[in-house]
Amino acid sequence: MNGVKARKQNTSAVNGEVPRKDLNGSANGHVSRDGHAASATRSTENIFLFYPNIIGYSRIILAIASLYYMPLHPRTCSILYSVSCLLDALDGVAARYFQQSTKFGAVLDMVTDRCTTACLLVFLASAFPRWSILFQGLISLDLASHYMHMYATLSMGGSGQSHKKVDEARTGRLLYLYYNNKNVLFAVCALNELFFIALYLLSFSSPTLSPSLLAGDHNTPSSAQPGSPSFVAAALLATPGSAWAMELARANKMDSTFPWFIAAVSSPVMALKQYLNVVQLLEASKWLAEGDIETRRLEGLPKRGR
């Protein structure tokens, strides 16, 4: 029997066949059961139902709800928007705890951040029309800097590199600290959002920033004046004594002291965040330009004689 087994092995060797071993070291030509189980586990994972991504979906739902209440219910809107922003820190904790960090989750998180901030800034542009170009510029800077940074990271650093892994020698100390220190990242993002939330509340409560709160026809809500975010809706829907008009009037009776305090405290951090956006945009542009120079060098461009 041993001779027959030896002849079979020799025949396989002559024919160029190598006996396959399973994960336990046996040469029976079959994958082990453990290997099948591991493969089945990997294939049945649903990335879209990972806990951090579910938190991300909750952020989107809360953000949409805050947008619904934004024109008329400043208190409800501010609470929903703030909770959506705070969950931004929780999804990262969940991703590390459950070992569920994914590229989809990282992109979902960043896109949600950009969209929610942009929507709030659009409202502020309509609430403060004299400053609309400033808010439009902030939207453009935020979107451009993050898109350029993400694209540069993927094309120059490799598809497996996270956009939060930045080189201190390239980007400088501030941007490196912003992306690599979780406490700094959370504080800067939170205070940046708080500044814009404070401006949103002031559009309902501060005659200094919203002069239309002092003027207007007594038959329409005071904020329903040209330049106010509620102007169009008020012109179409408001009638004296209606529930809509009474709710809008109640919203305009908010005290502006606390929003002014929040705006004053958070304004330096908001300015820092915009500076970091500029640095991020410029450094990503330089990185892409360096890659273009190297690509042209390897391709022998520009070719002489043309």
**Helix (DSSP H) and strand (DSSP E) numbers for the chain:** 12, 0
Q: What is the pLDDT of residue 219?
A: 46
User: Which is nearest to 79 in space by CA: 186, 252, 201, 230?
Assistant: 201
User: Which is nearest to 255 in space by CA: 191, 202, 200?
Assistant: 202
- In order of 150, 156, 285, 299, the CA distances from 295 in angstroms are 20, 11, 15, 6
pLDDT band at 74 (very low <50, low <70, confident <90, very high): very high
Distance CA(234)–CA(224), nearest Å, equals 5
| Burial track 87-114 (b if 16+ CB lie within 10 A, e otherwise) | bbeebbebbeeeebeeeebbebbbebbe
Q: What is the pLDDT of residue 42?
A: 58
Q: What is the mean pLDDT of residues 89-103?
A: 92
Q: What is the pLDDT of residue 31?
A: 47
ω into 71 cis (within 30 of 0)? no
CA 156 to chain centre: 21
- Whether 22 has a pLDDT exceeding 50, the answer reads no
DSSP calls for 245-273: HHHHHHHTT--SHHHHHHHHHHHHHHHHH
Q: What is the pLDDT of residue 247?
A: 61
Q: Which residues are catalytic?
A: 113
If DSSP states are collapsed to H, E and C, what string results for 82-142? HHHHHHHHHHHHHHHHCCCCCHHHHHHHHHHHHHHHHHHHHHHHHHCHHHHHHHHHHHHHH
Decide: 72 and 251 in contact? Cβ < 8 Å: yes
CA 149 to chain centre: 13
Mean of the per-residue pLDDT values for the chain? 80
For 201-257, write each residue's pLDDT tens digit: 999 887 777 666 655 444 444 444 444 554 444 544 445 555 655 566 666 667 889
Name, in order, each residue with C-beta under 8 angstroms of 147's C-beta and a sequence gap of 6 or more. none
